[in-house]
Amino acid sequence: MRYVDEFRNPQLAAGLARAIAHAARPGRNYAFMEFCGGHTHAISRYGITDLLPANVHMIHGPGCPVCVLPIGRIDMAIGLALARPDVILCSYGDCLRVPASAGLSLHKARARGADVRMVYSAADALSLAQREPRREVVFFAIGFETTTPPTAVVIEQARALGVDNFSVICNHVLTPPAIDALLSAAATGRDDAPHLDGILGPAHVSTVIGRAPYDFVAEHHHTPVVIAGFEPLDVMQAILMLLRQVNEGRVAVENEFTRAVSLTGNRKAQALVEGVFESREAFAWRGLGSLPHSALRIRPAFARWDAELKFALEDRPVPDHKACECAAILRGAKRPSDCALFATVCTPQTPLGACMVSAEGACAAHFSYGRFRDRERAATTGTQP
């Protein structure tokens, strides 16, 4: 199949693996962070780490919107759904399973009588509001720049159609400020902030915002970036490009995913977002803390469809589960297997942390493809994984 099989060709993968092994200089270590959870999923699924030299390390980043959402935001939605029988709260499937306070989640709140429903798109939630004019339909919106334009579209449509029983809890966050926070923390020499030699830039996000917004990473943080697609050969080619930049002493933003990402991105989508949303002064991220101008809120012109204003919702900080290492994993300070809960009491069926919920979460990816078991077996038996 065009654009699928050709990016999964095993012969080409073997050739790239040889090129990477040749480029990785003995005597030094390379640490590259794949920011996006989609890359984490691809790396685990296709066993890419097994094709890399021992001195090339891939570090998981915070690029899963379900994972970085703090507990307080989930509690806000749960509280609304339980307190207001007239409210139908809608969100994507992964959001419903994220653990919140008091052992609850949106899914468990539904078992307690809250009307919580899974939708496949923001448009589904707006359609539901039109079908249920006597109910308040609240869409719990979440995601990076990729899913923000569809939310902007439905808010505009709600205003145009006069659908006043529809509103949105906006949890849309921005990629560049998170990368800035990670690299700024590393520059201070903090123990919980790993040194990074390069960033594997996100794919879907970059189709919207383009390549240009990452220029600050090279100019200010002096760190190479390569935007990569999600197929295994995309990822391996991007790793090779990062290696070459480091070896040559270059610092640039390069685009491996040229078939989908341009310099300036999708201008129409950007204009939609700009028209409906504005920057929040600060927003709390799981693992990264409160980051300035790292998230969006609904503009005053659309206040009627802002659920936080409509229902006077409060965003209260809530600490994470004490034994869960999700926050450290999102910063790249730890790996899933470093968590005592991983693959024991915390599994995709019974997640105790957000990183085990979404398919793009690092813990879920490691668990689902079982590569951590291969490495553990190799360590105990002395065999190759």
Kind and range of the H or E run holding 124: helix 122-131
Alpha carbons 76 and 86: distance in angstroms, whole number: 16
Report the C-alpha gap between 363 and 337 in whole angstroms. 8
pTM for this model (two decimals) = 0.92
The whole-number pLDDT of residue 378 equals 45
Q: CA–CA distance from 357 to each of 93, 129, 209, 229, 288 (Å)? A: 10, 28, 27, 23, 19
Tokens of 108: 């468990």
Report the C-alpha gap between 157 and 153 in whole angstroms.
6
- Let me know: does 71 contact 100? Beta carbons within 8 Å: yes
Q: Walk me through the domains of the chain, giving residue ranges and CATH numbers.
A: 5-63+175-255 (3.40.50.11750), 67-173+267-310 (3.40.50.11740), 326-381 (no CATH)
The one-letter amino acid code at 21 reads A
Per the listing, tokens 């206040």 go with 303
C-alpha–C-alpha distance, residues 127 and 326, integer Å: 35
Q: What is the largest CA-CA distance in the chain?
A: 68
pLDDT per residue as tens, the chain (385 positions): 456 777 888 899 999 999 999 999 999 999 999 999 999 999 999 999 999 999 999 999 998 999 999 999 999 999 999 999 999 999 999 999 999 999 899 999 999 999 999 999 999 999 999 999 999 999 999 999 999 999 999 999 999 999 999 999 999 999 999 999 999 998 887 777 889 999 999 999 999 999 999 999 999 999 999 999 999 999 999 999 999 999 999 999 999 999 999 999 999 999 999 999 999 999 999 999 999 999 999 999 999 999 999 999 999 989 888 889 999 999 999 999 999 999 999 999 999 999 999 888 999 999 998 755 544 444 444 444 4
